[in-house]
Amino acid sequence: MQLVCQRVGTCSSCLKRQLNGFLGLIKWQRRLVPACVRTIYSETGKWEKSYGLETRKRVENWWLPRIKDQFCKISETDKSRPKFYVLSMFPYPSGKLHMGHVRVYTISDAVARFQKMRGMQVMNPMGWDAFGLPAENAAVEHGLHPASWTQSNIQHMREQFEALGLSFTWEREITTCLPEYYKWTQYLFLKLFEAGIVYQKEALVNWDPVDQTVLANEQVDDNGCSWRSGAKVEQKYLKQWFIKTTAYAKAMFDALSDLPEWYGIKEMQANWIGDCVGCSLDFLLKVNGKVTEEKLAAYTYTPEAIYGASHLYILPTHRLLHGNSSLKEVFQREFIPGEDSLTSVTAVNLLTNQEIPVVISAKTNFENFLDTKIGIPSTSAEDAVVAKNLGISFTEVIETLPNGLEKVINSGEITGMTRQEALEAITQQAKNKGIGGDLTSDKLRDWLISRQRYWGTPIPIIHCQTCGTVPVPYEDLPVVLPSVTTFTGKGASPLETASEWVNCSCPRCKTAARREIDTMDTFVDSAWYYLRYTDPHNTDRPFNNDLADYWMPVDLYIGGKEHAVMHLFYARFFSHFCHDLKMTKHKEPFHKLLVQGLIKSQTFRLTTTGQCLKREEVDLTGTEPVYLKTGEKLQVAWEKMSKSKHNGIDPEELVKEYGIDTLRLYILFAAPPEQDILWDAKTDAMPGVQRWQTRLWTLVTKLIEARTSGTMPNPGLLNKKEKAEARKIWDQKNLVISEVTEYFTKDHLFNAAISRLMSLTNVLHQASRPLILHSAEFEDALATLCVMVAPMAPHIASEMWKGLSHMQNKLCTHHHWDVDVLHQSWPKVDPEYLQPSDVVEMSVLINNKACGKVLVPQQAARNFEEVHELVLQSELGVKHLQGRTIKKAFLSPRTALINFLVQE
């Protein structure tokens, strides 16, 4: 007894010393339970029989730091091993985890642990999408510098992640607001610039006329007013930077067909891109015969008929009529509202050198997002009408032969070609000259990346009065954000105030010049981060090609459906671009995509004002929720958890109340990943997974007690009935291994996987005491169950395994009892189980209703005549079919089932 007490005391003090530093960081796991209350085997070598609240706390406190430290450290990549790259979309460091974070990262953690147990070299990295408007708003409102606010939030969220026991590959951590990351974002921008895929043009921005500043869309309220000044927001033209994503539209659309099923997301991507049947071509504008500095890209659905162009068509809302163009006055003077207005401005096609007039359309809009079109009467009756009404001459360029084949005529070097041949020739010529020609749709617009903000990646461009727009030399990267101390939210970009930074010398002519003061859209930072994870500490280039080729594509990409269009499109664009630069061998960045649903909670709104109430302000005792103060009935809805709606649930509080494993199991069990979880409607799931953990613990307790009872286990002592029961346990174990493995690898139905593990738990609970004591099948099934639970509930599984591994008189020697459960190999189905049986149980249906099963030989199970005859001759057939008129019978080609349709 004295020895045991000394042992308990020593282990407890060791535990406190080992965890003291770790627990100082983690506020969620503060209290250690005194050793005299409950003990766990890992501390004392004595198994605790029940799995109550205190035991759970001690188990999680013990295993949390150990699990964190023993996952996948892969500083050196072993390219000879199979890899699995699981990536969850990295978060914006807002400072506090919410339940949406918990869901996505619990899923990625479970997948990462599962794949590691399968022998894969796993990467499950984490980083921070750290630029963005909230940090700048915090600087305005609280006087905190965006950098310090962001770093503080990152530190806090990192601690919260660790408190959930999540297995990230932290040595690959990236932070997009650090120069060592955004240096390479700037590098890729320069590569795009060199390729002619980055350009500037005027575009509309939200303008606050009071604060004299540009507003993001989210800074404009529902009434179109500024969030800060309250002024009515105006639309103003500013010169903005664009990435020509339309150049890759056709390639990205076509590549979708090579990707696996993305649960509807492929269709969303295809719809976003649109049908890539036409292209844009560049024109130079002239007025009164004089060339201007204005260039214009115009879209046509029929590039092959370009020699038949009669006019260029622009909308009355076009920037040339409202921006800062030198032609603005001409267009406004010659525009007649409600009519097609022929102007004195002409457009020279830079491919064919044809000169055609510019017409301002009577329409208020064209198809989808077009604002400029090429009028070609040969292929558009509408264009022909416009040309005739305005007296514009045109040439027919399409001829239909007697056999129905269409050929191009009156079209220079493409005359005589089929329309398809001409289309290919014209688009290729335009691309070769850098004046358009990329097949795209009328829906897709180029990506506007300019932001008039401080807290973003600086655009590496210098403006020189002599040399024009000059890229920053590669050797001068990164262009580091200057230190700005005052943020008012008013006036020009804060970068404008950093005069020493803005004013510089031109890299070419060395005269005085100015830096670009716009920063990049944060979507640019996140459009290539998956590649940086493959080589995050490289100081010479964005990533090593060989490492990227080994790890890419991402095997499983996990994130919210709200990012299924824009972020995914931009990430795919950058991957295609890097492939064309021969930086990667894979065009597509993501293989499988798992889009998880929201976690929703109820909101309670006052019907009079729409104000959201806190839960404590609502009376829920009656049949309908009412406002406690006034008794007013409330509007109740299920909505995404939000601080502003007072319907959020703090993960920290849930961990304190239920524990890490219970929360993880709940998240995985409450619904399939792609479905929303309605929090209050799933009150049965939380106690359900709690009970299951208790039942698992009880099974381990039963086996340990049986093996320490003084009776040696001996399978030979089992009688025939008990051996048959052991065989059923063996069958069930193999079936569950097969199903759970498939759920993890194919559809990621973790709720179904947990349900099957629960069923195996139930089977083991029904085992008799002799079976528990003497059966190798029971011991093996329980050990296998622990291993399969481990990726989803690693703390309790680790402790149960520790108890089993030190159990005396084990019957199963194939498990690696000397290492922890998370280092076990994922169980495989026993080869004997996979061998086909001599007989098959054939399900028999009569008029679509099941009425029993009949055993038929394996070799006859696919032969309709033999199965038909065997069923008729069987006891079931004699009872249910004899003397009845069989109209028809069907043998299922996929399952062991035959259906008889008989006359009633």
Confidence of residue 167 (pLDDT cuts 50, 70, 90): confident
Q: Cα torsion at 517, 522, 526, 528 (round to 10°)? A: -20
> CB 416: neighbour CB atoms within 10 A?
12
pLDDT at 78: 82
pLDDT at 75: 61
Tell me the HSE value of 645 on the side-chain side, using a 13 A CA sphere.
Answer: 17
pLDDT at 485: 86
pLDDT at 647: 81
What are the pLDDT digits (tens) for 812-869?
989 999 999 999 999 999 988 877 667 788 999 999 898 899 989 888 888 999 999 9
Higher per-residue confidence, 693 vs 33: 693
Average pLDDT over residues 236-241: 92
Confidence of residue 27 (pLDDT cuts 50, 70, 90): very low
> CB 598: neighbour CB atoms within 10 A?
19
Check: CB of residue 900 under 8 Å from CB of residue 877: no
- Say if residue 441's pLDDT is above 50: yes
Q: Which range, 19-33, 88-102, 152-166, 410-424, is most confident?
A: 410-424
Average pLDDT over residues 512-529: 96
Left, alpha or beta for 542 (phi > 0: left; psi -120 to 50: alpha)?
alpha
- Say if residue 175's pLDDT is above 50: yes
- Say if residue 33's pLDDT is above 60: no
pLDDT at 73: 64
Check: CB of residue 206 under 8 Å from CB of residue 216: yes
What's the mean per-residue pLDDT of the chain?
Answer: 90
Average pLDDT over residues 326-333: 95
pLDDT at 213: 79
Average pLDDT over residues 175-200: 97
- Say if residue 237's pLDDT is above 50: yes
What are the pLDDT digits (tens) for 52-73?
889 999 999 999 998 876 665 6
Q: Which amino acid does the sequence have at 163?
A: A
- Residue 174: which of 527, 563, 590, 529 has the closest Cα? 529
pLDDT at 16: 35
Burial class (CB in 10 A: 0-12, 13-18, 19+), 231: middle
Higher per-residue confidence, 261 vs 450: 450
How do strand 278-287 and strand 213-215 relate by DSSP bridges? unpaired
Query: In the chain, count of helices (H) and strands (E)?
Result: 29, 34
Percent of the chain's residues with pLDDT above 90: 68
Check: CB of residue 900 under 8 Å from CB of residue 846: yes
The DSSP element (H or E) to which 852 belongs, if any, is: strand 849-857
Q: Is the alpha carbon torsion for 397, 398, 401, 405 positive or negative?
A: positive
Check: CB of residue 43 under 8 Å from CB of residue 35: yes
Confidence of residue 683 (pLDDT cuts 50, 70, 90): low
Average pLDDT over residues 671-684: 78
Please state the pTM of the whole predicted model.
Answer: 0.86
DSSP collapsed to 3 states, 194-221: HCCCEEEEEEEEEEECCCCEEECHHHEC
- Say if residue 184's pLDDT is above 80: yes
- Residue 437: which of 540, 351, 377 has the closest Cα? 351
pLDDT at 267: 92
Confidence of residue 14 (pLDDT cuts 50, 70, 90): very low
Confidence of residue 761 (pLDDT cuts 50, 70, 90): very high
Burial class (CB in 10 A: 0-12, 13-18, 19+), 769: exposed
Q: Is the alpha carbon torsion for 537, 543, 544, 548 positive or negative?
A: positive
pLDDT at 31: 33
Separation CA 713–CA 744 (nearest Å): 35
How big is the CA angle at 528 (ends 525 and 530), to the nearest 5 degrees? Answer: 115
pLDDT at 356: 97
What are the pLDDT digits (tens) for 345-382?
999 999 999 999 999 999 999 999 999 999 999 999 99
Could you give the residue ranges of the DSSP H alpha helices within 623-676?
A: 651-658, 660-669
Stated length of the chain? 904
- Say if residue 490's pLDDT is above 90: no
Q: Residue 108 to residues 48, 70, 123, 146, 559: CA-CA distances in angstroms?
A: 31, 17, 10, 30, 10
- Residue 168: which of 71, 81, 76, 283 has the closest Cα? 71
Check: CB of residue 440 under 8 Å from CB of residue 471: no
Q: Which amino acid does the sequence have at 557?
A: Y
859-873 b/e (C-beta count within 10 Å ≥ 16 → b): ebbeeeeebbebbbe
Tell me the HSE value of 635 on the side-chain side, using a 13 A CA sphere.
Answer: 11
Check: CB of residue 350 under 8 Å from CB of residue 296: no
pLDDT at 563: 86
What are the pLDDT digits (tens) for 594-613?
998 888 888 999 888 888 88
Q: Which amino acid does the sequence have at 286?
A: K
Residue 889's contacts (CB-CB under 8 Å, 6 or more residues apart) are 864, 868, 898, 899, 900, 901
- Say if residue 32's pLDDT is above 70: no
- Say if residue 17's pLDDT is above 80: no
Q: Which amino acid does the sequence have at 807?
A: M
Confidence of residue 652 (pLDDT cuts 50, 70, 90): confident
Rounded to 10°, the helix 146-163/133-142 angle is 120
In this structure, what token pair is assigned to residue 671?
Answer: 């619904």
- Say if residue 289's pLDDT is above 50: yes
- Residue 111: which of 780, 596, 820, 656 has the closest Cα? 596
| Helix, strand, coil percent content, the chain, rounded in steps of 5 | 40, 20, 40
- Say if residue 38's pLDDT is above 70: no
Check: CB of residue 789 under 8 Å from CB of residue 757: yes
- Say if residue 810's pLDDT is above 50: yes
Q: Which amino acid does the sequence have at 819?
A: V
- For residue 337, the 8-state DSSP code is T
pLDDT at 156: 93
